Amino acid sequence: MSKLADKTILLIISGGIAAYKSLELIRLLKTAGVRVRVIMTRAAKEFVSPLTVASLTGEKVHDELFNLTDEIEMGHIELSRAADLLVVAPATADLMAKMAHGHADDLASTTLLATDKQVLIAPAMNVRMWTHAATARNLAKLKRDGALVIGPNEGEMACGEFGPGRMAEPAEIVVAIETALTSKTGALVGKKVLITAGPTREAIDPVRYISNHSSGKQGYAIAEAAARLGADVALVSGPVEVPAPAGVRMVAVQSAVDMLAACERELPCDIAIFAAAVADWRVADEATQKIKKDGKGVPALKFVENPDILKTIAKRGSQRPGLVVGFAAETENLIENARDKLSKKGCDLIVANDVSKDKNVFGGDQNSVHLVTASGVDNWGPLSKHDVAQRLMGRLASLVKGQP
């Protein structure tokens, strides 16, 4: 039996010459036992006929956002809810731009904005459009938002030019779909893992904020390692430049207050790991207008304490995650301060790291960590942040194994 049998794919066809290859993609998927439902953009219908698509899929083709019958029967939310994966093939430069900016002005873009499912895109466009800085920016955004990307391939294009921009071959897209849908084989299959990462930004006024040097690298590496073990991963992240790891659901936040609210929405979960560098304080009265330099001296900022996200979640009673892991970023008395955080914040394990300036942990690629639990301390490192992540997730997977 095919690995894809009984899966449902929502295929979104946008308007490029490569749309004809989507017909072969549908045929391959149908042969593999997949239910294929299709949304076509208005431009896609200029390249392939909805009748052909309907004949190949054996299903009605969806193309209108404001279709009364569709909205009564199921609605565009239902289209994504019933799918195991959304595949955009071909993904034109225009649709990628809409996705990157959260536009929702037709059925395709609205469904992509409303979905909580993994999205795989197969870009296809003229080589100059593909190499344009705007497309590169949009692609980076989409990856950061968690989209999986296959292709484009390099070769002769329909417009006569040569270079990258050809849509990946249908057989290659099928392999990418199989990987996206069947990689869940690790020790954390069926477990939900919540991870915080990156810095928070605490606004002073509409243009200024207080933050720190966290790059998100350590937290993102942990999210990637958790996803590789098959976990359902929610990565609640402050603003960073690191791309989103594949197979991870991103939740982007700015402030500590936002981060706490986002974490609370992810409960219940089996493991919660707090790798974010959360600002301990925020400005008491965020100015609604830019503070002016008026010659009367510097402004005096008053601070209030931010909520402690880790402590709040660790003391959440019946909603407490099965395993709560905190970090301790210290510049002195590393182990002593980590032990103190372990008990005061109510976590099961603290990953202590020395963040003195010369250690280059904030933003760097290496980390030396100390795993502090009630029963002792394990010293790891120096290791790459990816190795720290893999070893940490391996340890946590063995700890949750016995938990219901």
Residues noted as catalytic: 159
Q: Which is nearer to ligand PMT, 143 or 217 (CB)?
A: 217
Distance of closest approach, residue 245 Cβ to ligand PMT, in angstroms? 13
Torsion region of 33: left, alpha or beta (phi above 0 gives left; psi -120 to 50 gives alpha): left
Query: For residue 117, what are its two tokens?
Result: 């499912």
| Separation of alpha carbons 345 and 211, rounded Å | 22
Q: Which is nearer to ligand PMT, 118 or 215 (CB)?
A: 215
Q: Which is nearer to ligand PMT, 14 or 200 (CB)?
A: 200
Give 262's Cβ-side CA count (13 Å radius): 22
Q: Which is nearer to ligand PMT, 293 or 357 (CB)?
A: 357
Asked if residue 188 lies in contact with residue 241, where contact means CB atoms within 8 angstroms, the answer is no
Closest residue by Cα to residue 107 from 80, 134, 141: 80
Residue that has been written with the tokens 């990307």 in this structure: 149
Distance of closest approach, residue 265 Cβ to ligand PMT, in angstroms? 15
Q: Which is nearer to ligand PMT, 22 or 390 (CB)?
A: 390
| Separation of alpha carbons 43 and 176, rounded Å | 25
Strands (E), 171-284: 192-197, 202-205, 208-210, 232-237, 248-252, 271-274, 281-283
Distance of CA 309 to the CA centre of its chain: 20
Distance of closest approach, residue 144 Cβ to ligand PMT, in angstroms? 15
Distance of closest approach, residue 10 Cβ to ligand PMT, in angstroms? 35
Distance of closest approach, residue 309 Cβ to ligand PMT, in angstroms? 3
Q: Which is nearer to ligand PMT, 299 or 363 (CB)?
A: 363
DSSP state, residue 233: E
Q: How many CB atoms lie within 10 A of CB 249?
A: 18
Measured CA distances, 166 to 24, 40, 150, 302, 365 (Å): 15, 19, 11, 56, 35
| Separation of alpha carbons 150 and 90, rounded Å | 10
Distance of closest approach, residue 203 Cβ to ligand PMT, in angstroms? 16
| Separation of alpha carbons 79 and 174, rounded Å | 20
Distance of CA 215 to the CA centre of its chain: 16
Distance of closest approach, residue 321 Cβ to ligand PMT, in angstroms? 13
User: Which residues are near ligand PMT by CB under 6 A?
Assistant: 196, 214-219, 256, 274-278, 280, 306, 308-310, 326-329, 341, 353, 355, 361-363, 385
DSSP state, residue 230: T
Q: Which is nearer to ligand PMT, 339 or 341 (CB)?
A: 341
Distance of closest approach, residue 7 Cβ to ligand PMT, in angstroms? 36
Q: Which is nearer to ligand PMT, 310 or 400 (CB)?
A: 310
Strands (E), 238-386: 248-252, 271-274, 281-283, 303-305, 323-330, 349-354, 366-373, 376-384
